[in-house]
Structures are given as structure tokens and as C-alpha cells.
Amino acid sequence: MNTACYHCGLPNPDERHQLHLGDQVVTFCCVGCQAAAQTIIDNGLGDYYRFHNPDQTPAAPPLNPREAETLALYDRPDVQADFVHRKDGANCQATLMVDGVSCAACSWLIEKRLRQLPGIKSAHFNQTNHRCQVEWDSDSIPLSRVFSTLFAIGYRAHPYKADEEEAWRQRTSRRYILRLGIAGIGMMQAMMNAVALYSGNIELQHEQWLRWASLLLTIPVVLIAAGPFVTSAWRGLRVGHLNMDLSVSLAIWGAFIASVLATVTASGEVYFESVNMFTFFLVLGRFLEFRARTSVHASGNALLQHLPPTCMKWTGAGFERVAVRDLEQGDRIQVLAGELCPVDGRIVAGTSEFDESRLTGEFQPRPRTLGDAVMAGTLNQSQPVEVDVTHTVKDSSVNSLVQLLERAASEKPRIAELADRGSRHFVWSTLIITGLIGAIWMAVEPERAFWVVISVLVVTCPCALSLATPTALAQATTTLRQWGLVITRGHTLGHLAEITDLAFDKTGTLTEGRYRLETTVLTPHALQLGLSESEALALANALESASEHPVANAFQEAATSSARVSLDDIQLHPGSGISAQDDQGVHYRIGTALFTGATESDEPEAGEQFIWLSRDNQQLARFSVKDEIRSTAASALEALASLGIRCHILTGDPNPARSRAFETLPLGGEYRHGLSAAAKLEWVQQREQAGARVAVVGDGINDAPVLAGATVSVAMVSGTDLAKQAADALLLNGNLRTLAAAIRIARKNRRIIRQNLSWALLYNGLALPLAAMGWVTPWQAAIGMSLSSLLVVGNALRLRK
Amino acid sequence: MGILSIVIPVSLLLLAAGGLLFWWTVKHGQYDDLDSPAHRILFDDDDDMLPDDIKPKKTKNTEDSEPTDER
């Protein structure tokens, strides 16, 4: 039977992991989900499952003791200094970044669970940016407990400290809300006054009172809400650049000043409600666009979170824990198995395997021995080694990758403000035409000239024109976010519509980036011993549990029997496997064919790996593990092909053979293997020079430069922070079909922007002559302008589907 | 219609007060998170906050198929 995982919703074919909920049995896809659900239900938070919206991303496996030790580092004052704010005495406050949040129920769960802990004063989770603000009493609860609690319910947490861009984003957002509120209040009140004024049946004295009241309440609106338009227009003028804000501020201030004159002289018409309404709609459009564009929860973290904050340094008498930033060139440090190497260095004692996936994107560990160089950010997988520091944190390879990234980002075309560029000519012509019309009216009928000029300014006010692009962009962005694609840069949608080629990174993008057990084949010898498949798996899991190798996870997930096999003398043999013996002195080995004494008969297909289990040099079983292709890959490629997009695969995997699974993918373009980060960037640049528009989808640190250099780049949310920061868009749910939907929406968005712009130009073109002839009074002009804006906004709302 | 001479200034004063309060709420970050509160209100997890005299009735209502049986 094929049921979905109770926790994450992934299809769950074998139902190995189960929990009993009352009389109901629920199943899970992996240990991670099961453990998280167990914790959630044990703490009386089972309500979570009534509301949650599974995101098909399994929870990370439970903390192992080593990870728990690393978390204890967060209790050290020097580590806390970076992100913990001490209020008074033991009262502390910090903001944590939480990964793995899929829905509103998650935020409920996080807050609930944290508040259950003794010593937690408050916990607020922000659904928009996935940050959790915690206040606690450091005397009654250590900070590491907060982290481990979040880990136990299936979320990953990191310390958070806002960088400058993020601080700016918050300030701007608050300013927008303030402007919106003031314009909104002003608009409502001015409209009420306008109803009284337009009713006609009103004494002159009362009319004047209402006009003065409207004037007073419009002052804050034009100063605070519309002020930034003027500042922006002025800034533009100073550098000789006419922007949309110039005509916006001219219209607002023109109508305002004219209305003030009318009020003071008690003659003519007032248009305070039009001024307010116009300002409100403009600010609303800009705010929605701003909000949709900047709601990224992944970026803006100033802390380099993938480097351990401390390490073991040789002091002459022994190893001592010191802060990584205090290390100097020539220091000797110890990197334990399972630790990240904090600096670039050279191995001076020991032999181990290093997982360089953060740098190269490949999950196969590389053996490293005496004299070999190791890089910062790589993971030591088997034995402790001693390393001499050659480069300190500042100039280690992680940082040079950051530099490469910055350079690539600077080569990127600046955000093209299409509408703004087009409107520059429009603004010019409007101003000149208005001036001409004014001059003609002055000559013909001077007493009507001023109001005709105001009518012309209001009627030609590029309100619809300036809303045309941002509302469509905002709507498309919001729609895409509901699909699971977060746009992080202004130009992304525009470029997405022009895409002709799409290049995928393989590991972690088209595949899931984690190994899974495919098949288990028992040898005749094992059958003779009466060994069952699950016993073989339990043995393999017991052996592999000592290892940090990603393959070990495959066994951890696959092992069903909870009976632990007790093994002694577990030894890791880098590049070969693991050996151990049980209490009866029987030797077990797991690893490569050579290591376990097996003679290979079948060739594993590419992407697949054989792992052998032997007992006293007699083979027991052959496991094949595989990094699985995402279930949505094939249908996504088909959908993309139907949109006329060529898909390519660029991989750092040195294996030239395409696996059978990849051959069945409907790939329209090339399959390139063994590419370094620089080679990927070069390939993309060549394509771009040949006239193609390339989008890149990737996840690793090594993908970051190519992501920054491509026309449009999409990062997987499970990817590294560096990749996420370099990308123009983030794919939140691993559903590759969203990419095809995104391109469709981007194209529709482009079409709608064009329709909106043509409508706005048509309207202005038709209304201008009418207003110039003096046939349009200012109030009619204001209504026309508002209707035109509403039409544009309504058209943009069609992007919702 | 002399009332207008009082009502109009009062409305302006109220507006000013409202505007100032709004400015204060924005400054204190009450609008920083515009998404979570909308969802949070939908969670029916306030059973423990109900007064005791309402509590049993409420659970009966939700669990029993025929709540009027009691009477």
C-alpha cells in the first residue's frame, strides 16, 4: 500500500516506521520524521497534525551525540557575544533562523514547544522571514537546550544577526506602512468631506470649513506619504535623470497647491480627496511590490554559519579549545571525525576522508593523508587528524569563493527598470505639452488657463503607467511564492520570460543529494547461516553507525529492527570501509568489494554504488545504494520542453557515464560532467554569447559563482547559504515542476505588463486632447485617472492563477 | 448647523490622535510580521484558557454527536 508520510507527506511505500496514535497507526518515510513526530506528540502538541500542510521535505534525523556536543558551543559566552543580547542580569534575547518551516502550523508548533520549556520568557516566530525571537533566563535554561529542542521537533536552527541590507529592509518596510496608513486615513476623511462638498446643498461658510479641514488633513499626506516621491524626483533631477516620480510629485503637489489656492481665495474647485487617493494607491502599489520582492527569509544573515566557531589547538602540552578567529598561520589544530575543518591547512598526522561537498558539490568523500592539503568548510569523515594552519579564516577558500561570487555578481546587468526608462520620454513630453497648452490658454482665455493646466496634469498623470509594472510584478511574485518559488531580485521575472536554456546541477538538484538503499542481495553463505535481510541490515547499520559518511544515512534509514547489534573494536578504514568484531570474536566488515574480499561480478550503474558486508571474510550481502532522482524531475523536464526550453545538466561528478535513470529523462540539451565551478560559469557565458538566455538551477557552494553569473539563477532551499544568496530565486519545496510554472507566469507577466503599458499610454493619449480643449474638469480627470489605475491593477490580478 | 464648528475640529483632533498612535505602533514593530497573526488566529488551541464552567460543555459539543442528550 502506498501511503504518505504522516509528518512530511512524502510517498511512503514500505511503511517501516510506525507510531501508534491511540488506536490509529501512522507511518513515516524515515527515522527523522518519526522521531520528530514522537517528540511532538509526547509533548502534547499533536494538534499540529490537524493543521499542518506537509511540504514533502523529510525532517532531519535526530541529533547524534557529536552534534549535541557542537550545540553545546552555543552556551559559551564568546560564541554568544555575536548574537545574544543581554538585557539585564540573566535575561537574554536572541534571534534564531529556523530552517524547515513549511506552513503556518509550523510557527504554531515552534512557539508552543519553546514556551513549554522552563526559563523561556517569550518566543515569537515570524512566518514571513522564518526568524524566531527568543527571550530566556540564562540561569534556568542554557541556550543549547533551545537549539536541541528545535532540532528534536524536526527543524534546524542557526543564530541570526541582521546584516546591513536586512536592517535597511526593515526600516523601509516600516516607512512604507507608516506612509500607507497616513495616506489611508487622509483619503477616508477627505472623501467624507468631499461627499458633503459635492452634495451641493451646503452653505458657503460650511463649505469653507470643510475645505480647510480637508486642507489640514492633506498636509501630512503630501509631506509624509508623498514626500519620498519628491525626494526621489529631486535626486533624479540633480543627476539629470527624469523619472516617474517627477510627474507623480508634480501632479500631487500641483493639485494640492491649486486646491490650497482655491481654499484660500474661496473660489474654484478643491481636489484634496483626489490628491489623497492618488497618493494612497501609489504607495500601496509600491509597498506591495516592495514586500513581494524582499520577503526572503534565507538571506540577510551576517553570521557565517557553516564554520564552527571554535576548534582544538595544540598548546604544547595538549589540545585546548580556542576560538577559530584567534588562530594564526602555523598553529596546529586537531580536527575530529565529524567536524568541519575551520581553516585551510596541511595534514601533519593521521589519515582520513574529507567530504568536500560544500565546495565541490559532490558527496563522494576524498581520502586525505599526511601532507595533503585540506580546505576550510570540508567535513572530516572518519578519523581525527592534526592540521597545520596555512590560511586563517580571513583568506581561506570559503572566503575566496565568496570573492569569486562577488565578482560574478558585479558583472551582472543592473536591474533594468523598463517602465521607468520608457517613462522618462513620457515625462518629458507631458511636461512640455502641459506647458504649451498652458501658454495657449493664457493667450486665449487667461482666467481658465490654470484649471485647464491642472486638468491636463491630472489626466496625463502617469498613475496607471507607474502602477502598470509594479502591480503586475507584485502579483506574479506573490503567485510564484505560493507555488514555492521565492523571487529575490527585481529583474528576475523580466529575465525569466526570456529564458531559452535551463541548466541543472545534478547532485542535490535533479537528485535529492542523499543516499538511499536500493536493493539488498543476500549471498548463498548468508542463507546457509539463516540470516534474514533485516538482520543483515541491522548488522550493516551497526557497522555504519560509527561513520559520518553519507552512505551511512542510507542504512540508518533502512534498518527496521530496533534490536541493536553490539560490536566492539569498530575501525574506520578511509576509502575502504569499516571493520568490527562482536563479543564472540567474529569479524565483520562492510565496504568496497576489495575490502570485504568479494569478487565483483556485476558492474554497478553510474550513480549507484555497491557495498558489501562480510563475516570472517565470507560475503553475506551486497547492498546497492543510490542518490535518488527527484520524483518531479521527469515531468518538470517535459513541461519545460513544451515551453520550448532546452534543458542541460552540468555536474561536477567526474563519472562520465550517464546512469540509466538520467538517460530516460527527456533532456533536450547537453550532459556535461566533471565541471569545476569556473568551468560551469564559462559554459554559461559561452552560451550567453551565442545568444541564448540561460537559467541555472543549483545548490552547492561550488554553484554559487555560476548562479551569480547566469541571467537567472534558482537555488534549492536545501542548498548552502552561499548559493542561496547568489541566486535570483529560491525553490522552497524541491518541486522542479514549479520552474516550468514560473516561466509560464513570467511570460504571462510580461504580456500583462505590455497590455497595461499600452492601455495607460492609450488612455493618456485620448484624454490629453480632451483636457487640452478644456472639455474635462479636474474632478472628471481625477475619476478617469482612478478608473484607469483600477483597470491596470485589475489586469495585474489576473496573474493570480 | 453651528455644530459643524465643533464637529470638524474634533474630527481633525481625533485624526491627529489616530495618526500619532499609528506612528507609535509602526515604530514599535507591531507591523513587522504581517503574515503569522492571520494564521495564528485559526488555531483552536485555547482549551486550557476557557473558564471552567464553559469547558465541559464545549468539549461535549465537539465530541458528542448529539449534544442535547444531556438534558
A47 contacts chain B (CB < 8 A):
yes
CA A205 to chain centre: 59
Phi, psi of A497 (to 5 degrees): -70, -20
A172 with A283, same domain: the answer is yes
**Strand-strand pairing, A319-323 and A156-160:** unpaired
* Residue B42: domain span: 4-63
A347 with A440, same domain: the answer is no
In a domain, A282, yes or no: yes
| % of chain B at pLDDT higher than 90 | 20
A409: confidence class by pLDDT, cuts 50, 70, 90 = very low
In a domain, B15, yes or no: yes
Residue with cell 497595461: A756
Q: CA-to-CA distance for A575 and A365, rounded, in angstroms? A: 8
How near does any CA of chain A get to the CA of B8, in Å? 7
A601 with A711, same domain: the answer is no
Whichever domain contains A353, its CATH number is 2.70.150.10
pLDDT at A180: 92
pLDDT of A234 strictly over 50: yes
A27 with A88, same domain: the answer is no
A146 with A175, same domain: the answer is no
A137 with A172, same domain: the answer is no
A38 with A103, same domain: the answer is no
Q: CA-to-CA distance for A114 and A129, rounded, in angstroms? A: 18
For residue range A461-499, list pLDDT tens digits in order: 666 776 677 677 777 877 787 677 877 666 777 788 888
In a domain, A300, yes or no: no
pLDDT at A67: 67
Note whether ipTM > 0.85 here: no
How near does any CA of chain A get to the CA of B39, in Å? 6
Task: Give the best residue of A43, A217, A224 to mutate against chain B (max B CB count within 10 A).
Answer: A217
| DSSP string across A313-369 | EE-SSSEEEEEGGG--TT-EEEE-TTPBP-SEEEEEE--EEEE-HHHH---SPEEE-
For residue range A259-271, list pLDDT tens digits in order: 898 888 887 778 8
In a domain, B34, yes or no: yes
**Helices in A136-271 by DSSP H: which ranges?**
143-152, 164-198, 204-220, 227-238, 244-265
User: What's the average model confidence in pLDDT over A126-138?
Assistant: 81
Last residue of a domain, one of A231, A266, A294: A294
pLDDT of A50 strictly over 60: yes
Chain A residues touching B20 at Cβ < 8 A: none
pLDDT at A798: 82
Kindly determine whether residue A185 and residue B18, on different chains, have CB atoms separated by under 8 Å: yes
pLDDT at A215: 92
In a domain, A740, yes or no: no
**What residues of B are in the A interface, CB distance below 8 Å?**
1, 4-5, 8, 11-12, 15, 18-19, 22-23, 26-27, 29, 31-36, 39-40, 42-45
> Could you tell me the three cell numbers for A198?
459635492
A314 with A277, same domain: the answer is no
In a domain, B69, yes or no: no
A149: confidence class by pLDDT, cuts 50, 70, 90 = confident
User: What's the average model confidence in pLDDT over A194-222?
Assistant: 85
> Could you tell me the three cell numbers for B12?
481633525
Name A435's Cβ contacts closer than 8 Å, sequence gap at least 6.
none
For residue range A65-109, list pLDDT tens digits in order: 666 766 777 777 767 777 787 877 778 888 887 877 767 778 888
Q: List the single residue in A105, A126, A216 with the smallest CB-CB distance to B33.
A: A126
CA distances from A423 to A78, A255, A663 (A): 54, 21, 49
pLDDT at A563: 56
For residue range A510-553, list pLDDT tens digits in order: 777 667 777 888 888 888 887 788 888 888 888 877 665 666 77
In a domain, A125, yes or no: yes
User: Which DSSP state fits A664?
Assistant: T
CA distances from A452 to A258, A278, A426, A445, A770 (A): 11, 19, 20, 10, 10
Q: CA-to-CA distance for A770 and A764, rounded, in angstroms? A: 10
A256 with A169, same domain: the answer is yes
Whichever domain contains A720, its CATH number is 3.40.50.1000
Domain count, chain A: 7
pLDDT at A177: 92
In a domain, A411, yes or no: no
Q: List the single residue in B1, B34, B45 with the smallest CB-CB distance to A203.
A: B1
Chain B residues touching A216 at Cβ < 8 A: 12
pLDDT at A408: 44
User: Which DSSP state fits A384?
Assistant: -
A108 contacts chain B (CB < 8 A):
yes
Q: CA-to-CA distance for A394 and A396, rounded, in angstroms? A: 6
> Taking CA atoms, what residue in A is nearest to B8?
A213
List the Cα angle A174/A178/A184 in 5-degree steps: 140
CB pairs under 8 A between A and B: 71
CA A678 to chain centre: 24
Q: CA-to-CA distance for A460 and A771, rounded, in angstroms? A: 9
In a domain, B23, yes or no: yes
In a domain, B56, yes or no: yes
In a domain, B70, yes or no: no
Q: CA-to-CA distance for A214 and A483, rounded, in angstroms? A: 44
A290 contacts chain B (CB < 8 A):
no
User: What's the average model confidence in pLDDT over A160-189?
Assistant: 83
Q: For the beta carbon of residue A617, count every other beta carbon within 10 angstroms.
A: 10
Chain B residues touching A276 at Cβ < 8 A: none
**How much is the mean pLDDT over chain A?**
76
pLDDT of A9 strictly over 60: yes
Q: Which of A292-301, A345-354, A650-659, A762-771 has the lowest mean pLDDT?
A: A292-301
* Residue A93: domain span: 63-161
Last residue of a domain, one of A161, A190, A207: A161
In a domain, A432, yes or no: yes
Kindly determine whether residue A210 and residue B8, on different chains, have CB atoms separated by under 8 Å: yes
Burial class (CB in 10 A: 0-12, 13-18, 19+), A530: exposed
Chain A residues touching B27 at Cβ < 8 A: 174
In a domain, A302, yes or no: no
A56 with A116, same domain: the answer is no
A190 with A266, same domain: the answer is yes
Query: Are the C-beta atoms of A703 and A680 separated by less than 8 Å?
Result: yes
Kindly determine whether residue A181 and residue B39, on different chains, have CB atoms separated by under 8 Å: no
In a domain, A476, yes or no: no
Q: Which of A84-98, A132-146, A149-163, A281-295 has the lowest mean pLDDT?
A: A281-295
A69 with A211, same domain: the answer is no
Domain count, chain B: 1
Phi, psi of A578 (to 5 degrees): -135, 140
pLDDT of B61 strictly over 70: no
In a domain, B26, yes or no: yes
pLDDT at A673: 75
**A299 vs A597, higher pLDDT:** A597
**B40 vs A796, higher pLDDT:** A796
- DSSP3 helix / strand / coil % (chain B, rounded to 5): 65, 0, 35
